[in-house]
Amino acid sequence: MKRWTIDRRAMVTVGLAALLGACSVIPKGADRAGPVVTTPTPEPTQSLPSDETRHRIALLVPMSRGILATCSAPLARDVSAEEAHETYAKAYADEPFVHVLPAGQWPQTQSVTGSNAVHVQVTVDEAARRLVAVGAVDNLAKGTAGAAVQCMNLALGLDEGTGLTTIGLAP
């Protein structure tokens, strides 16, 4: 079995069909800074200590559509996973396209494919003292096209969900 090098040249040469399902770190050279980038925090704030850094790990996840974002932030005070989940659930309770999933259930891109929904989960990494939020969206339906329909609906005085679905193609 031939092993393929996962970089931009391979994507062009091999194409999506050969890479589909092959998640990997983008090798140094394909991404200007390499797979791990550490950037200093621009300015100190109450929630971010002055020596805090942000990390990004660039991954290549060849799939036809969808975005799975994992974001973390340092905690300014002790917060439990339950408290973080309750806060997110309350904040998004009236948003028709944002679904905070039940505790322990994690977002998957396939669950939002073909919908204008975003699935969100949040927890706390107590050992690292960081909040971790994960969100899945269909970058076509929830992207600019979905936003355009949503804005048009609001401009015309219609319910913002008219013509948009929150049910993905694969539940």
CATH 3.30.360.10 domain range(s) in the chain: 65-171
Per-residue H/E/C for the chain:
CCCCCCCHHHHHHHCHHHHCCCCEECCECCECCCCEEEEECCCCCCCCCCCCEEEEECEECCCCCCEEEEEEEECCCCCCHHHHHHHHHHHCCCCCCEEECCCCCCCCHHHHCCCCCEEEEEEEECCCCEEEEEEEECCCCCCHHHHHHHHHHHHCCCCCCCCCCCCCCCC
CATH, domain range 65-171:
3.30.360.10
> 31-56, pLDDT tens digit by residue?
444 444 444 444 444 444 445 545 55
> 82-128, pLDDT tens digit by residue?
999 999 999 999 999 999 999 989 999 888 988 999 999 999 988 88
